[in-house]
Amino acid sequence: MGKERLLGRSGRWAAFGAAAFLAACSSDTILESAPDAGDLPDAQTEPDAAPPADGASSDAGTNASLELSDAVIDFGDVSCGADSDPRSLTLTNRGRSAATWSARLQRGAPFVIDGASSGTLAAGAQVAVKILFESTRGARSGSAYTDALIVDDGDDATPVTQTTLRAELAGADFAFTSPTIAFGNIDVAGTPASRTVALENLGNRAATVSFDQQSSGPFSLVFGGSSSATSVSLAPGAATSGIVARFDPDSDGPANASFTLVTQGAVCTVPSENLELTGTGVSSDLRVSEPELDWSLVGCGATGSAKALSLSNVGTAAVSYTLTLAKGSSSPFTLSRTSGTLNPNGSQSVTVTPKAIPAPTNAAIDTSDNAFGDVLRIREPGGTEHTVDLLQTAKGAVFQVLPASVAFPSTVVGSSRDYAVNIVNVGSARARVQYTLTPVAGPFRGSTPFGPQPVEGQNDSLVNTITFEPTAAGTFSATLTWSHVPLQGEVLCAPMPAAIPITATATP
């Protein structure tokens, strides 16, 4: 399965959105007991039926009783862009009279009935009902789908029989951390500038990526450090792609290029935007030692270490400069100097010191990519500007729980209903959580194994299906609470969500 978990299985959060996912997963489902299905027939069979009892009519009104062979059909992982193999269930008429049956799906696509969906079934006869999951691109890997196959005979007095259907998408999800790389002003007499293309695979399968072109004007792309390579495979969860963009201007003036991502393999989603490269060639005697300073992930409540870069003058005349931060006074960094003058062949050091990443109190800290980054601008009197990217992201888990409350529909004693509760980590780092269902004894139970369960960042989720299975009539309530069980190095960037109230009513 993928990273988003259903009934304790691993999987990622559905791309079609938390609300849509929960609407799909929290529908009322009563699971009927059923015998195991063997090989399923493609056509109706009619084994010998027991003769009616003395005095009973073989065509008595409501003696049909339809039964499906499986209470649950789990398609498992289905590759994006490919259909699943058909799954068959056996529909049996265990009654004493013929039944006109019809099958339907509670929601429909991407589940479809493959073949006959209605007919007449003699007493004791069987027929195969086939279900297919049609996977398409556009939804995130790990997206979990649920539905119900419902079969009835049109007789209100006869209980409806149904089977719960489940499937989960598998494939790569590619996303640019930033689709634009701005090289800034690059000296035409200096060394080419290089930037890593921040492409991530947020999915659960590896796939190969390339671009529609490898070079355009002064811009070029290098794959895996090899000038001859034209593509690279990106594993699930990989945060860097091994793709480097280079800008090597040979004249003064602005330049730009656009590159379109090309993929191979099971791919669920791709960026909607192209990779855009911009830069300006300039003639300058000032040199900057680093095109970027990268603190990567810094935990909420922690402070990154100071980093230094060097400015040098390769000319024969003195060069003055000023230093500014793009975010001004709200910048998460401070500078050891804001101006200076470089003598010929001279150099000076500039120290960049990060401020502390805030610790969460009553609100979540922004863990989006480079939310605590900035740009250092080095400007010469003539207007030539050099830029240094300062990269920093708050590291920590941010949990959200949906829905905020659970209210089961009225449930008959002896039956059961399921309601999916989803905890999503929208932060930038994994953390372990566990749930507590209070009171422990009662008609409610959770599907997720008790004990700490890891939930990765970037919209990974854990689905805990709460089952209400009353043994007596009455009104019942419980509370579901999620708590953080930290391992060394795990950090929260937001308070844990409030407890979820659960209510239900059971009728005789």
Q: What is the pLDDT of residues 114-138, one digit of tens each?
A: 988 899 989 889 999 999 998 877 7
Residue 279 has pLDDT above 60, yes or no: yes
192 shares its domain with 315: no
User: Residue 397's pLDDT is what?
Assistant: 93
Q: Residue 202 falls within a domain, yes or no?
A: yes
Worst-scoring range by mean pLDDT, 45-54, 78-87, 416-425?
45-54
Q: Is residue 167 within 8 Å of 111, Cβ to Cβ?
A: yes
The pLDDT-based confidence of 46 (bands split at 50, 70, 90) is: very low
The pLDDT, as a whole number, for residue 157 is 60
Helix (H, G, I), strand (E, B) or coil at 476: strand
- Answer with the one of 395, 424, 456 that is the final residue of a domain: 395
Q: How many domains does the chain have?
A: 4
Does residue 28 register a pLDDT over 60?
Answer: no
Nearest to 174, CA basis, from 235, 257, 83, 246: 235
Residue 287 has pLDDT above 80, yes or no: yes
Which pLDDT score, from 0 to 100, does residue 53 have?
37
Q: Within a domain: residue 362?
A: yes
What does the block give as tokens for 438?
Answer: 């209070």
Pair 56, 187 in one domain = no
Spatial separation of the C-alpha atoms in residues 23 and 142, rounded to whole Å: 16
Residues 183, 164 share a domain: no
φ/ψ of residue 249, rounded to 5: -70, 145
Work out the percent of the chain whose per-residue pLDDT is above 90. Answer: 39
Together in a domain, 164 and 175: no
Distance of CA 313 to the CA centre of its chain: 48
Please check whether residues 425 and 298 belong to one and the same domain: no
Any domain includes 12: no
Asked if residue 159 and residue 190 are part of one domain, the reply reads no
Tokens representing 241 are: 């792609």
Region 435-449: what's the mean pLDDT?
Answer: 86
Q: Are both 291 and 403 inside the same structural domain? A: no
- Chain segment 189-241, per-residue pLDDT in tens: 766 788 888 888 888 888 888 899 888 999 999 887 666 778 888 888 776 65
Lowest pLDDT segment from 81-90, 259-268, 356-365, 449-458: 449-458
Task: Provide the CATH number for the domain around residue 421.
Answer: 2.60.40.10
User: Taking every pair of C-alpha atoms in the chain, what is the biggest distance, in angstroms?
Assistant: 118
Alpha carbon distance 310, 289 (integer Å): 5
Do residues 166 and 35 both lie within one domain? Answer: yes
271 and 149 within one domain? no
Last residue of a domain, one of 170, 192, 223: 170
Which sign does the torsion angle of CA 498, 398, 329, 276 carry?
negative
9 domain-assigned: no
Residue 192 shares a structural domain with residue 221: yes
Q: Tell me whether residue 241 is in a domain.
A: yes
Q: Is residue 447 part of a domain?
A: yes
User: In the β-sheet with 161-170, what is the strand arrangement from edge to edge?
Assistant: 72-79, 161-170, 144-152, 99-105, 118-121
Same domain, 38 and 153: yes
Q: Is the pLDDT of residue 49 over 70?
A: no
- 166 shares a domain with 64: yes
The last residue of one of the domains, among 170, 204, 236, is 170
Q: Which domain holds residue 288?
A: 284-395
What 3-state class would DSSP assign to 291? coil
What SS3 state is found at 22? helix
Region class of 142: left (phi > 0), else alpha (psi between -120 and 50), else beta? left
Mean pLDDT of the chain: 82
Residue 48 lies in a domain: yes
The whole-number average pLDDT for the span 428-433 is 90
Residue 216 counted as domain residue: yes
Global confidence as pTM? 0.52
